[in-house]
């Protein structure tokens, strides 16, 4: 059994925020793979489903970002899920928009949701880092992550969500490379014309007329034969 946690803030006010991209990811997985309806539990919203024989619990903490660890701890304790079987989907300032990385363990890099999970669970859980880009000035970070994705960002965001959903079975099976490849095929699909460009054959050259070797007398005689 695995616990997949999407990080964000509850309520319609925050639904489209960059900080809520983790919520968006688990929502897409639940919708596309026939998971059960979301229900209240463990200080959050929970949905359950399977990828083959692997049971996966999806969790959206409703404690607000800074207290996410409380909800994660409650769900992990109830289902007796070890920290190594927990995967957290979260926004990542240090990655360009649409980029994605997998990481097992390590620091929280100042992310308040991860900081809270560290406090309650330790640091050995896995993370799916979802790039949202950086505003360029650290003083603008709070406003940036709590603002909605721009309309122009919709296409890459939708491709990213589709890719995460496509790769979810591989992630559940522990195949991180296959998961990332599924995302890449959506975010940066190969060009349609990847084969070798056909070589155009040159137009055939007109044959030069044969050299006329007749004598002047023969040419004159031939003219009278016509």
Cα–Cα distance measured from residue 60 to residue 68, given in angstroms and rounded to the nearest whole number: 9
Sign of the Cα torsion 91, 97, 103, 106 reads negative
- The answer to whether the beta carbons of residues 29 and 163 sit under 8 Å apart is no
How many other β-carbons are positioned within 10 Å of the β-carbon of residue 153? Answer: 16
Please give the radius of gyration of the chain, using alpha carbons only, rounded to the nearest integer. 31
Q: Is residue 19 flagged as an active site residue?
A: yes
- The answer to whether the beta carbons of residues 65 and 112 sit under 8 Å apart is yes
Cα–Cα distance measured from residue 79 to residue 2, given in angstroms and rounded to the nearest whole number: 9
Q: Helix (H, G, I), strand (E, B), or coil: what is residue 17? A: strand
Residue of 122, 135, 138 lying closest to 88 (CA atoms): 122
Distant-in-sequence, close-in-space partners of 212: CB < 8 Å, separation ≥ 6: 219
Under DSSP, the state recorded for 147 is: S
- The answer to whether the beta carbons of residues 55 and 81 sit under 8 Å apart is no
Q: Helix (H, G, I), strand (E, B), or coil: what is residue 129? A: strand
Q: Which of 19, 108, 118, 134 is catalytic?
A: 19
- Please give the positions annotated as active site: 19
């Amino acid at each position: 059994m695995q616990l997949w946690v999407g990080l964000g803030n509850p309520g319609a006010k925050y639904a489209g925020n960059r900080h809520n991209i983790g919520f968006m990811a688990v929502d897409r997985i639940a919708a596309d793979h026939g998971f059960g309806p979301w229900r209240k539990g463990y200080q959050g919203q929970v949905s359950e489903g399977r990828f083959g024989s692997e049971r996966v619990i999806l969790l959206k903490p409703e404690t607000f970002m800074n207290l996410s660890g409380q909800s994660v701890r409650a769900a992990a304790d109830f289902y007796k899920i070890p920290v190594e079987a927990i995967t957290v989907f979260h926004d990542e300032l240090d990655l360009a928009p649409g980029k994605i990385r997998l990481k097992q363990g390590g620091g929280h890099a100042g992310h308040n949701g991860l900081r809270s999970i560290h406090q309650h669970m330790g640091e050995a859980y896995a993370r799916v880092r979802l790039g949202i880009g950086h505003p360029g000035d650290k003083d603008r970070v709070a406003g940036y992550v709590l603002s909605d994705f721009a309309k122009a960002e919709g296409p890459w965001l939708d491709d990213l969500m589709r890719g995460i959903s496509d790769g979810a079975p591989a992630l559940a099976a522990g195949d991180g490379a296959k998961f990332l490849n599924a995302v890449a095929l959506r975010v940066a699909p190969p060009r349609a014309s990847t084969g070798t460009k056909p070589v155009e054959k040159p137009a055939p050259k007109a044959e030069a007329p044969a050299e006329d070797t007749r004598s002047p007398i023969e040419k004159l005689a031939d003219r009278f034969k016509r």
